[in-house]
């Protein structure tokens, strides 16, 4: 039975690109399971299909996933390109840190992409942002679609990988993809001056083939990521700098809140760890505790 990858899903139809290069419009029939769980096909899934005509088929089985994201809904991604704007809208650390936690939980490689560099008037702001995240262990690419700054470096990170582009609406994901794939002509949206963020211009997830090799997914912008399905004890491991320091904590399983001899808190107090990232960790921890109480 032919195998292929779902590259787009719209209104119950799954568009599958087979290993032979065919593109089939498919319906899904039956209940799909692996690891004793019912699953719904996602963009990025490898599937078995039965052809019923030259251009149509039926998804018969979903093959086991390597990775899975819920928001955006996509499977089998190698890396996340987390896109944040430096201006219009101004850089926001909180949503970036939320997505980083989700990507870390899924075991994805992560690249932070800062857009709209041409609008920056104070380079010190950019340096501060880069320092925070590079010290945490993340590569940071600074880009501008107007000047072309950073585009070649971003292409190097994308080569031969399946990458998901994700970030809040209006930060420039679609503009970046238009730069990488000029024939794509994705719709872009203006940023609302009143609310400081953009309107959603991407309506569905779609995997796009890159000319230099690899695939990228344009995804609807996200406004909030929850921590459902994640244990409180797992959160620290999703902050690389906290995970590294926690080895020196007095207690195994230290949550880095008020435990004695906590190496993480000591690093924050001595200025060796970013205080705002640590505060976000505490905020996420509290959200997770409240979530558990509700359920």
Instruction: Could you list the residues known to form a binding site, using ranges.
Output: 115-118, 167-175, 249, 254, 256, 262
Nearest of 241, 247, 195 to residue 221 by alpha carbon? 195
- What does the block give as tokens for 44? 């990025």
Residues 6 or more apart in contact with residue 188 via CB below 8 angstroms: 172, 174, 175, 178, 201
- Binding-site residues for GTP, in ranges, read 115-118, 167-175
Reading phi first (left if > 0) and then psi (alpha if -120 to 50, else beta), residue 252 is in beta
| Spatial distance between the Cα atoms of 262 and 254, rounded to a whole number of angstroms | 7
Relative to beta strand 140-142, strand 3-10 is unpaired
Contact 165, 173 (CB under 8 A): yes
- Binding-site residues for Zn(2+), in ranges, read 249, 254, 256, 262
């Amino acid at each position: 039975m032919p195998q292929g990858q779902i590259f787009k899903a719209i209104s119950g139809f799954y568009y599958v690109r087979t290993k032979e290069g065919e593109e089939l419009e498919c319906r899904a029939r039956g209940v799909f399971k692996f690891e004793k769980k019912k699953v719904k096909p996602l963009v990025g899934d490898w599937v078995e299909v039965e052809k019923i005509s030259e251009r149509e088929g039926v998804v018969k089985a979903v093959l086991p996933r390597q990775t899975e994201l819920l928001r955006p809904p996509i499977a089998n991604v190698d890396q996340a390109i987390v896109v944040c704007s430096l201006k219009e809208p101004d850089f926001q650390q909180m949503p970036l840190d939320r997505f980083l936690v989700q990507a870390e939980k899924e075991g994805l490689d992560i690249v932070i992409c800062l857009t709209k560099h041409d609008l920056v008037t104070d380079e010190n702001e950019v340096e501060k942002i880069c320092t925070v995240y590079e010290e945490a262990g993340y590569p940071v690419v600074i880009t501008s679609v107007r000047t072309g700054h950073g585009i070649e470096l971003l292409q190097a990170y994308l080569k031969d990988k399946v990458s998901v582009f994700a970030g809040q609406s209006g930060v420039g994901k679609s503009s970046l993809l238009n730069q990488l794939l000029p024939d794509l002509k994705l719709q872009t949206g203006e940023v609302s001056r009143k609310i400081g963020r953009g309107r959603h211009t991407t309506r569905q997830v779609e995997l796009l083939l890159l000319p230099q090799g690899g695939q990228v997914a344009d995804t609807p912008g996200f406004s909030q990521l929850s921590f459902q399905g994640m244990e409180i004890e797992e959160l620290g491991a999703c902050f690389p700098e906290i995970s590294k320091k926690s080895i020196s904590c007095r207690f195994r399983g230290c949550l880095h809140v008020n435990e004695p001899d906590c190496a993480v808190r000591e690093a924050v107090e001595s200025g060796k760890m970013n205080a705002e990232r640590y505060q976000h960790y505490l905020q996420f921890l509290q959200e997770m505790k409240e979530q558990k109480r509700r359920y």
